[in-house]
Amino acid sequence: MERVNITSDLTFSRIVYGMWRVGDDADTSPSHVRAKIDACLEQGITTIDQADIYGGYTAEAILGACLKENKGLRDQLEIVTKCDIVAPAGRYSNARVKYYDTSAAHIAKSVEYSLTEMGVDRIDLLLIHRPDPFMNHHETGRALDDAVKSGKVRAIGVSNFKPWDWTLLQSAMETKLVTNQIEISLTAHHALTNGDVAFLQERGLHAMAWSPLGGGDLMRSTGEPRATLSRMAMAAGVDEAAVAIAWLMAHPSGILPVMGTNTISRIEDFSNAFKVPMDREAWFELYTQALGHEVA
């Protein structure tokens, strides 16, 4: 599996496995989570994406139960997690409204919760989950720097940020932001043209693409993109999801797809995406169909 430099001493696998849906699985036992992680590790997929809020603040503990039962497993992984969304659920069930909290106190508390829930002593990458319209960038930037200085967090990034949100936060930080995790897929490709990917590409940074199969919508859709995916999949001897992921990974900026299936056989097939030839014309064939019209 190809690896990508995130910082000078941190690399991620090119394909990342996301655990947003881990609590939706009928089986959340440590052994079943272990089986999913093993299916990733067998392909060299070592980077796991989490967030404090996933599963109503339960997903980190589901992973944690597995890590606690399997000593040494954590050291084979890079763990990404996120904070700043406070929703009336779980530990925040008293919240009167869903909101974002980028205060220093909330960031410090969230880091402690994540470490405890997952039973780890370090988070490899901490992301601010959503841009906070009430952010005091000086306070947030200092809190994120402090998290790195404490040794509890190795690197800092953001998610769903616009370039101006990024530059505001970065202006108040010593630590360099390393990624923006944003929605990119054949069903949501606006980031390729609205400046979000270009902003990272200019800086030599990799976007992390959430919902790379449109949360499954792409695989359930009918019509043109699906027909072309199907034809390319047949030609390459892989499934359609592999073609959709190959399309994302072919982008010159080096996008990291964050996959979300709970189905082990689908996890086992992730690296089929590397078998799909995706030259410029094939890329535009899929893009044209995703747009619904030829490019101007």
Residue tagged 């039973």 (tokens)? 119
d(CA 283, CA 246): 9
178 or 259: whose CB is closer to ligand NAP?
259
What SS3 state is found at 3?
Answer: strand
Residues 225-264: x where in contact with ligand NAP by CB under 6 A, - otherwise, as a string: ----------------x----------------xxxxxx-
65 or 242: whose CB is closer to ligand NAP?
242
Is residue 289 a contact point for ligand NAP (CB under 6 A)?
Answer: no
User: What letter would DSSP give residue 124?
Assistant: E
CB atoms within 10 A of CB 218: 21
d(CA 82, CA 235): 39
d(CA 267, CA 262): 8
20 or 166: whose CB is closer to ligand NAP?
20
Could you give phi then psi for residue 72, rounded to 5 degrees?
95, -20
Q: For strand 16-18 and strand 10-13, is the pairing parallel, antiparallel, or unpaired? A: unpaired
162 or 266: whose CB is closer to ligand NAP?
266
Structure tokens at 223: 């019509």
DSSP β-bridge partners for residue 10: 7
Is residue 211 a contact point for ligand NAP (CB under 6 A)?
Answer: yes
Is residue 219 a contact point for ligand NAP (CB under 6 A)?
Answer: yes
Structure tokens at 221: 């859709």
Residue tagged 């990119």 (tokens)? 184
Minimum distance from residue 81 beta carbon to ligand NAP (Å): 10
Is residue 215 a contact point for ligand NAP (CB under 6 A)?
Answer: yes
**Residue of 100, 161, 199, 210 that binds ligand NAP (CB under 6 A):** 210
Q: What is the DSSP string of 251-275?
A: STT--EEEE----HHHHHTGGGGGG
**Residue of 19, 86, 118, 282 that binds ligand NAP (CB under 6 A):** 19
DSSP β-bridge partners for residue 16: 47, 258
110 or 261: whose CB is closer to ligand NAP?
261
Residues 41-80: x where in contact with ligand NAP by CB under 6 A, - otherwise, as a string: --------x-------------------------------
Count of residues engaged in binding ligand NAP, rule: CB under 6 A: 24
Instruction: Give catalytic status of residue 100 as yes or no.
Output: no
Binding site for ligand NAP (CB under 6 A): 18-21, 49, 159-160, 181, 210-216, 219, 241, 258-263, 266
Active site residue ranges: 54
